[in-house]
Amino acid sequence: MAVTRLGRNENLNGWAFIMPALVLLGIFMVWPILWSLWMSFQTGRGAMTQFGGLANLERLISDPVFLRALRNTLMFLVIQVPLMIVLALLLAVALNNPALKGRSLFRTAIFLPCVTSLVAYSILFKSMFATDGVINGFLETLHLIDAPIPWLGQPDTARIVIILAITWRWTGYNMIFYLAALQNIDKSIYEAARIDGVPRWAQFLRITVPMLKPVILFTTVMSTIGTLQLFDEVNNITTGGPSDATLTLSLYIYNLTFKFMPSYGYAATVSYVIVVLVAILSVLQFLIAKDRK
């Protein structure tokens, strides 16, 4: 009896310790999620809303701006994420070479963009790729172009600038994960491969990549989530232009909530499109990366 009472008291004490954290999580995380789900079924403008059932879903299908934002977001995802993952992996392998001098300096330089302010670096890229920016000036100095390129005024070049900006900032972040994982690979494996005459490219594909598979999966999922929520770079560099060529789902949600006549219910519905995309793509990536026996 005494043991049972002691165990019950320990349970009560444990719940008492974690209850403040659970209350805060409920107030600031669970409740907003549930409220946004309820709001996704509301129609109307501003505070004048009413229950509209599936009206917002029907609006999604026929909304050309939403479809454009969805297409742009998926395009950034398909192009930028693989580019960044491959580049980060190659940089990590190169900087893991003990024979390379100044490895610490290179690692710091590549990782440094990750700690810069999102707004600050976005404004920097905007000024660099302006018509009178340093990029056009440099290209004209090398006589590669005859006239300044309107980087931010054309759909294709504006998308290129966004992809370059994201890649510049987040490649070093993923590279650090790969570097840490490379430190844990037994060097004797590579030594045995060299003795057997396995070329370096085969060592990379047959040893490095398979042993980094869990880390590659993690960085891919995180990069996918981040790209689907892309907002700061687009908002500060192109504001979604030109002609919505770089408009993303997150920026569209912002415009629906704060820039246009507020439509909170429809904005909540668009936000759940991101939730569904993240869930589907994450599950697919886990299934693709699952070990097949």
Cα(241)–Cα(126) distance, rounded to whole angstroms? 13
Q: What percent of the chain has pLDDT above 90?
A: 41
pLDDT value for 89: 93
Per the listing, tokens 């079924």 go with: 41
Fold of 64-289: MetI-like fold (1.10.3720)
Q: Which residue has the tokens 């001098």?
A: 101
Domain extent listing, the chain = 2-34, 64-289
pLDDT at residue 54, rounded to an integer: 81
Tens of pLDDT, residue by residue over 108-158, are 899 998 888 888 999 999 999 999 989 999 999 998 888 899 999 999 999
pLDDT of residue 292: 52
pLDDT (tens digit per residue) in 3-42: 466 556 667 777 888 898 999 999 998 898 898 888 888 8
pTM for this model (two decimals): 0.87
**pLDDT per position as a tens digit, 71-95:** 999 999 999 999 999 999 999 998 9
pLDDT of residue 188: 86
> How crowded is residue 143: how many other Cβ atoms within 10 Å of its Cβ?
7
Question: Using 50, 70 and 90 to split pLDDT, how confident is the model at 291?
Answer: low
Distance CA 126, CA 246 (A): 14
Q: What is the mean pLDDT of the chain?
A: 87
pLDDT score for 12: 79
